[in-house]
Structure 1
Amino acid sequence: MTPLPIRLALRRTLKQVRHVRPVRPRSATGLVKAVYRQVERDFGMLAPPTALHSPAPEVLAAAWTILRESLIAGRTASRAAKEAVASAVSVRNACPYCVEVHSATMAGLMSTTDATAISDDNIETVADPEIRAVAAWARGDGSVELPAAQAAELIAVAFTFEYLNRVVHVFLGPSPLPPEVPENAKRFVRGMLGRFLRPGAEPVPGAALELLPAGGTAPDWADGPLADAFARAFKAFEAAGERALSAEVRELVEGRLRDWTGEPKGLSRSWVEPLVSALPEQDRGPARFALLIAFSAFQVDESIVENVPGGDVVLVEIASWAAFSAARRAVELRGVRAGKEKTAR
């Protein structure tokens, strides 16, 4: 576990969260407290991308569950391969915050040259063939075969970061480093952050299951504890959408996702207005928010957020449901070709 003084310092990064107020560690109770304890124990710090979900405790538990059970606790794919997938997905989604975090972690798990190539979107120059292959798949190369034994974990990591990238675009800035860190110190601080986030003692798969009730439907690609974890999380995300959005809005977003083939929407938000214009007035603000998170999360700003009534809980629930729905479609679009089994190095 990260030393206490460092953990306390890292907690201050929660001030970077925008649009909502995360629960402070000293104020956490019940489910939020239980999640926070697991996050600091198994991830090394109370990461803002997880803590920002805390106004909605069940969604917080779901977001942490998919992150823990895919990236941190799985035992078939190497952590280096999973960090490569996390970084490549984040590069594809132009999420500088996540690229910076996971590039720092990668730097201690593989050669600096390979880690830099992935974060700079030069995957074809990665020297390690296994790392190059999984990063290329995550970046969208459908011709790549994933090792059969590792496929479920690697797909789970891709799903998790398709989800997190969208949420981070909305609620966090472009860097995990506090703005007061001087430019000439950033390289050192990134290195320190990377050391804290690298795996130490291997967390036991399935420990996050206790945070969510059983139920839900697991995705076809998942198995074992991973299937149970994702089924529980999916159920929580779906329930959040049902609480925060009308059936008409959910049907609109899901219909657009079914027709989506992965192309970016571009720099304009003009495509949103024709879609929401036929909705009742009270649904238009939430629908804009959900559509932008699903398709173009970087375009969400204060003008979009302020037209979503209901406060922090509703904002987090809409964001989580829209990001979850988009992540499910994004993974489906990647396709999976599993080759012969290989073991993690």
Structure 2
Amino acid sequence: MRATLVQVGLRGLSTAQVRQVRPVRFGRAGGDVARVYRELERDFGVLAPPVALHAPAPDVLAAAWMTLRETLLVPGRAPRAVKEAVSTAVSEGNACPFCVTMHSSVLNDLVGGRGGAERDPPARAAADWARANASPDTAAAHPVPFPADQAAEVVGTAVVLHYLNRMVNLFLGELPLPPGAPAASMVVVRRVLVHLIKSAERRGPRPGASLDLLPDAPLPDDLRWAEGSPSVAGAFARGAAAVERAGRRSVPDEVRELVSAHLARWDGRPLGVSRAWVEEAVGELPSRHRATARLALLTALASYQVDQGVVDGFRAVSPADRALIDVTSWASMAAARRIGGWVRTG
């Protein structure tokens, strides 16, 4: 598919939104990065910054793209409005205003006006389910509002958004606008983006078309909820394996063990505004690992609290852009998988 003039014009604006790492611009992308960028325009409608921000680590970029594509974008058994309602509810819970703006805009268009999920009973029920399943305590008692054959898509959408919300909070601003753009321009930008996204959906992205970006891998036990859809299962198996490799590449063993231990005890609830718990946790590690552990723990459990000082501290010991993507993507995926493991599907 040849890109439209509008898509071409938005390329620079999309990558200009990426902060903390040097963005890979469309015209300079090569190999798998270039392929993912082309597929984003074809199947998402626009070079979406939440995916493009991963470009310094091409394998992680492929993982983020294929898991989002196969759950939210590929037409399947679950209605798009249901998946957008889940995306909006998860993003609200994770305090990710960028994602709330985008997914609520698409949802409002799908249901015919403002009010989002409130205007569509299945979407409203799915949003309530997503909110309840943010914690195992509230998940257990909440009814599952979708049939079993939609579980892979709906749960997958929730898990992908739990992952992307964390990355977006670190690497993008509060609105899908380039730096310096007035907030008032969001009215026009929202209209254009929704049009492009809906146009891409009408073209009907083909299931599994991006899976060959990464090698085949077995589906981990905590992702068994994906088994009902071969393409969703394939995307998560390959994507999870790629992110695990990124973790081994850039996250010391001691840090991975610390984050995994905290996630095993986590019940999904916010940890509060104080970061004293982080300092206590990283104090257990050798000083050379503390900056990485601080970044990974905050990304996994309170991404909205990652500030410039945390990033600068990590950069002092690991200056490469790829390392920053590796650590944050590994921590984000670990948290998202933890949540997916307790989500109720039946």
**TM norm structure 1:** 0.91
CA distance in 2, matches of 1:74, 1:324: 24
CA distance in 2, matches of 1:300, 1:322: 13
Q: Which residue of 2 aligns with 1:144?
A: 143
Are 2:301 and 2:335, in contact at CA under 8 Å, matched by a contact in 1? yes
CA distance in 2, matches of 1:2, 1:334: 40
1:306-317 matches, within 5 Å, as: 306-308=312-314, 309-310=317-318, 311-317=320-326
The more displaced of 55-64 and 308-317 is 308-317
Q: Which residue of 2 aligns with 1:341?
A: none
Shift, 1:184, TM fit: 4.1
CA distance in 2, matches of 1:244, 1:111: 46
CA distance in 1, matches of 2:272, 2:10: 35
**SS of 1:265 mapped into structure 2:** coil
Candidates 276, 279, 284, aligned match of 2:290: 284
Q: Which letter does structure 2 place at the counterpart of 1:155?
A: V
CA distance in 2, matches of 1:39, 1:316: 19
Shift, 1:331, TM fit: 2.2
Are 2:86 and 2:154, in contact at CA under 8 Å, matched by a contact in 1? yes
Q: Which residue of 2 aligns with 1:318?
A: 327
CA distance in 2, matches of 1:241, 1:261: 23
After superposition, the C-alpha distances for 1:145-177 in whole angstroms (9 at most, x for unaligned) are 132111110000000000000000001110002
1:334 aligns with 2:334: no
Q: Which letter does structure 2 place at the counterpart of 1:133?
A: A
Q: Which residue of 2 aligns with 1:121?
A: none
Shift, 1:178, TM fit: 2.9
Shift, 1:328, TM fit: 0.8
Q: Which letter does structure 2 place at the counterpart of 1:313?
A: R
Shift, 1:329, TM fit: 1.1
1:187 aligns with 2:190: no
CA distance in 1, matches of 2:241, 2:183: 43
After superposition, the C-alpha distances for 1:281-300 in whole angstroms (9 at most, x for unaligned) are 11111000000000000111
Distance 1:184-1:286 versus aligned 2 partners, 3 A rule? closer
Are 1:261 and 1:333, in contact at CA under 8 Å, matched by a contact in 2? no
CA distance in 1, matches of 2:164, 2:254: 25
1:40-51 matches, within 5 Å, as: 40-51=41-52
Count of residues in Structure 1 that have an aligned counterpart in Structure 2: 328
Shift, 1:185, TM fit: 3.7
Q: Which residue of 1 aligns with 2:243?
A: 237
CA distance in 2, matches of 1:250, 1:66: 23
Are 2:15 and 2:24, in contact at CA under 8 Å, matched by a contact in 1? no
Q: Which residue of 2 aligns with 1:298?
A: 304
Q: Which residue of 2 aligns with 1:122?
A: none
**TM norm structure 2:** 0.91
**SS of 1:75 mapped into structure 2:** coil
Q: Which letter does structure 2 place at the counterpart of 1:107?
A: N
The more displaced of 94-103 and 170-179 is 170-179
CA distance in 1, matches of 2:231, 2:268: 29
Q: Which residue of 2 aligns with 1:340?
A: none
Q: Which residue of 1 aligns with 2:58?
A: 57
CA distance in 2, matches of 1:84, 1:182: 27
Greater helix fraction, Structure 1 or Structure 2:
2
CA distance in 1, matches of 2:98, 2:128: 20
CA distance in 2, matches of 1:10, 1:40: 10
Unaligned runs of 5+ in 1: 119-125, 338-345
Q: Which residue of 1 aligns with 2:158?
A: 158
Q: Which letter does structure 2 place at the counterpart of 1:216?
A: P
Q: Which residue of 2 aligns with 1:173?
A: 173
CA distance in 1, matches of 2:247, 2:185: 42
After superposition, the C-alpha distances for 1:264-315 in whole angstroms (9 at most, x for unaligned) are 0111211101111121111111000000000000111111111213210000
Are 1:90 and 1:165, in contact at CA under 8 Å, matched by a contact in 2? yes
Distance 1:56-1:179 versus aligned 2 partners, 3 A rule? closer
Q: Which residue of 2 aligns with 1:255?
A: 261
Q: Which residue of 2 aligns with 1:110?
A: 111
CA distance in 2, matches of 1:60, 1:316: 9
**SS of 1:64 mapped into structure 2:** helix
Shift, 1:256, TM fit: 0.5
The more displaced of 92-101 and 182-191 is 182-191
Are 2:148 and 2:345, in contact at CA under 8 Å, matched by a contact in 1? no
Candidates 217, 220, 224, aligned match of 2:219: 217
Alignment RMSD (CA, Å): 1.6
Are 1:104 and 1:193, in contact at CA under 8 Å, matched by a contact in 2? no
Q: Which residue of 1 aligns with 2:277?
A: 271
Q: Which residue of 1 aligns with 2:4?
A: 4
Shift, 1:217, TM fit: 2.2
Q: Which letter does structure 1 place at the counterpart of 2:344?
A: G
Unaligned runs of 5+ in 2: 134-138
Q: Which residue of 1 aligns with 2:37?
A: 36
CA distance in 2, matches of 1:316, 1:72: 24
Distance 1:297-1:50 versus aligned 2 partners, 3 A rule? same
Shift, 1:74, TM fit: 4.2
